[in-house]
Structure 1
Amino acid sequence: MPLLAIALTLLTAAVLVVDLARPGLAQPLREGVATVAAPAQSALAGWDDGRVRALTEERDALAAEVDRLQEQVRQQEQLRTLDRATTWGDHDLLPARVVAFAPATSPVGGRTVTIDVGARDGVETDQTVVAADGLVGRVLRVAPRSSDVLLLGDAGVVVGVRFGADGALGSVEARPVPGLPPRGHGELTLTALGDTQIRAGDEVSTLGSPDDRPYAARIALGTVTAVDPDRGQLGRTAVVTPHVDTDVLDLVAVVFTGRGDR
């Protein structure tokens, strides 16, 4: 019936166009439209407000279901991408959605995001959190149904790493290092252990922690994008651009390692 109403509207518009262009030609067409439209108009007139409201609600419900299914498909694809990307050791992933955030200036302390899984899902403090592209951070606080994640790039976060083809040791942090060039938004500083050479393009991954907490080993972290000039500091330094943009986080996962996390 909605299609019929649309068709009648289009036909009426056509009559108006003809009437404006050639007034004499429109009369037969108007009579024909009236003949065709009369039964349909009678049928449409029989629709009361309740019927129209019911059809509108049904349409809106179907549209909402389509949106829900599309979101489900998108989430499943994100999960497949996440699972394909995490090839580093024996682990399980608990998917989670970012539902809130706190800037570094928050009185609670730390640059964090809140995810929609918590103690009832088996989450504990100091578990690693990842996205499809690599490291996100670690679980800082746990509530029954949610958890706060301290992000890579917070001023208080220092991560032990390996970098380059030989897996040289170092650390990555966001805190400005005196004497080094200023960093851009989101950029981190890699400090090599000793005098190890750093090269632009070196891949950086997590070194790992005892029992894989707070950081499991071999998780992609970022890429060296620039090497700082040697100014006599104890270890060579470089700029690292993280693989994960924490400003646009959506689907993440809490890492449960194969050592009895749950």
Structure 2
Amino acid sequence: MKDTRRTRVVLAALLVVALAMITIDHRGGDDSPLRGLRGIGATVFGPVERASASVVRPVSETFDSITDAPGQRRRADRLERQNQKLREKLRASGLDRDRSAQLQRLLGTAGTGGYKILAAQVISAGQGFEDTVTIDVGSGDGIEPDMTVMSAAGLVGRVTRVGPATATVLLATDQTSSVGSRLEDSKEIGIVEGLGRRGFRGHGETPLRFQLLDAAAPIRVGQRIVTLGSQGQRPYVPGVPIGVVERIERSTGGLTRTAYVRPFVRFTSLDVVAVVVAPPRKNPRDAVLPPKPKPTPTATPSASPSASPSPGGDPDERPSGTRGLSTEPNPGD
């Protein structure tokens, strides 16, 4: 089309007519005199618009997705980082609650027994033939060999090797471990020995063996055992709970008896422990033992008795992050 004066006049006239029709149709609303024309236009041009949209829309959406891909990736990464931070906060809050509960138990046990302790965390387990763990305190924290190591539940073992910032603990379950012990409510003493890793497989939850020095002394299943204490309070201080008698075996000749003991400490999930850096002023004897469980009443005399709860109390919690917490018992304890 040539750009002449006539074409310009025609174009201007068409624009004026179009604007007039739009104004009249808009002001008339549903009663617009041009409603019929609007319907005809929709009928004629509607299929054309839908066909063109079906062709153009996928192309435009593909173009938009390509151009917006870096932004989408950045938003996904940002959301992932936010989710990770939220998960870490939830985990930390849970650890804080566990740490608080565990330390409260540890402080209660130390206060009851009159022990001065230094709390530590187990950071690794021994891979050799010995049952050992490594804790995150050492000579720089005042730790020395042959110090008693305990948890809130009872005896863990003794320190054998000390470095500047770490120490090795020989567990009471080790085959070379031998602990002077005493039965509760009795003056009868004996030796608790570890059965090693084989003890866990061969005896389940009873990886300790107890032998009385007096073969004729009374002993019964369910009786609990505490440390007797060593000369000079090294390597074991007195009164630390060890475990409960699970079963008793008599030798062939009947001269000796061996009791198998389930420890109060769960050695397979050690986390927070305490090194006793100073012994108690007096022997706590049975004071540190957990309360005895109450027997479950039976419904009828003919009913079989229910099993009593574990005498060991609740198992250890597994909080972390307690390096260097020291506690000293109240002089009045």
Change over 3 Å in CA distance of 1:189–1:59 after alignment to 2: closer
Q: Determine the structure 2 residue equivalent to 1:147.
A: 167
- C-alpha displacement of 1:227: 1.6
Contact 1:99 1:114 in 2 (8 A): yes
Identity level (%): 34
Alignment correspondent of 2:139: 119
The aligned amino acid for 2:116 is D
1:255 aligns with 2:276: yes
Alpha-carbon contact 2:237-2:279 (below 8 Å) kept: no
Do 1:142 and 1:148's aligned partners in 2 also have CA atoms closer than 8 Å?
A: yes
Q: Is the 8 A contact 2:233 2:279 kept in 1?
A: no
Aligned counterparts of 2:280 and 2:108: Cα–Cα separation in 1 = 21
Q: Which has the higher contact order (CA 8 A, sep 6+)?
A: 2
Once the two structures are TM-superposed, the CA of residue 83 in structure 1 deviates from its matched residue by 2.2
CA RMSD of aligned residues (A): 3.1
Tell me what 1:184 maps to: 203
Q: Which runs of 5+ in 2 are unaligned?
A: 1-67, 282-325, 329-333
Alignment of 1:1-262 (within 5 A): 48=71, 53-54=77-78, 56-103=80-127, 106=128, 110-174=130-194, 184-185=203-204, 186-194=206-214, 195-232=216-253, 235-258=256-279
Q: Name the SS of the counterpart of 1:126 in structure 2.
A: coil
Q: Tell me the distance in 1 between the aligned counterparts of 2:249 and 2:175.
A: 20
Structure 1 residue ranges without an equivalent (≥5): 1-44, 177-181
Secondary structure of the corresponding residue to residue 189 of structure 1: strand
Q: Shift of residue 93 of structure 1?
A: 2.2
Once the 2 structures are TM-superposed, how far is the Cα of residue 84 of structure 1 from its aligned partner? Answer: 2.2
Alpha-carbon deviation of 1:253? 1.2
Moved more, 158-167 or 222-231: 222-231
Structure label with greater radius of gyration: 2
8 Å CA contact retained: 1:197, 1:236: no
Q: 1:219 to 1:258 in 2, by over 3 A?
A: closer
* CA distance 1:102–1:118, shift in 2 (3 Å): same
Distance in 1 (alpha carbons) for counterparts of 2:79 and 2:261: 56
Amino acid across the alignment from 2:217: T
Most deviating of 115-124 and 63-72: 63-72
SS in structure 2 opposite 1:145?
coil
AA in 2 matched with 1:127: M
The alpha-carbon distance between structure 1 residues 88 and 210, as it changes in their structure 2 partners (threshold 3 A), is farther
CA-CA distance at 1:239 after TM superposition: 1.5
Q: Any idea what the Cα deviations from partners look like across 1:2-29, whole Å, max 9, x if unmatched? A: xxxxxxxxxxxxxxxxxxxxxxxxxxxx
Would you say the 8 A contact 1:128–1:213 is kept in 2?
Answer: yes
Distance 1:52 1:200 in 2: 61
Instruction: Note the alpha carbon deviations across 1:19-66, whole angstroms, 9 max, x for none.
Output: xxxxxxxxxxxxxxxxxxxxxxxxxx8x94656645543443343233
Structure 1 residues 141 and 171, CA gap change in structure 2 (3 angstroms): same
1:125 deviation in Å? 1.0
Number of positions where the alignment pairs a residue of Structure 1 with one of Structure 2: 210
Greater fraction of residues in strand: 1
Normalization by structure 1: what TM-score? Answer: 0.69
CA distance in 1, matches of 2:139, 2:207: 32
Supply the distance in 2 between the matched residues of 1:83 and 1:231 (Cα, whole angstroms): 45
- The answer to whether the 8 A contact 1:101-1:112 is kept is yes
CA drift at 1:160: 0.3
Which residue identity is paired with 2:249? D
> Do the aligned residues in 1 keep the contact of 2:158 with 2:235 (CA within 8 Å)?
yes
Q: TM-score, normalised by structure 2?
A: 0.56
Contact 1:88/1:218 (<8 A) preserved: no
Residue 250 of structure 1: CA displacement?
1.4
Cα displacement (A) at 1:72: 2.0
Distance (Å, rounded) in 1 between the aligned partners of 2:254 and 2:209: 13
Q: Which amino acid aligns with 2:170?
A: L
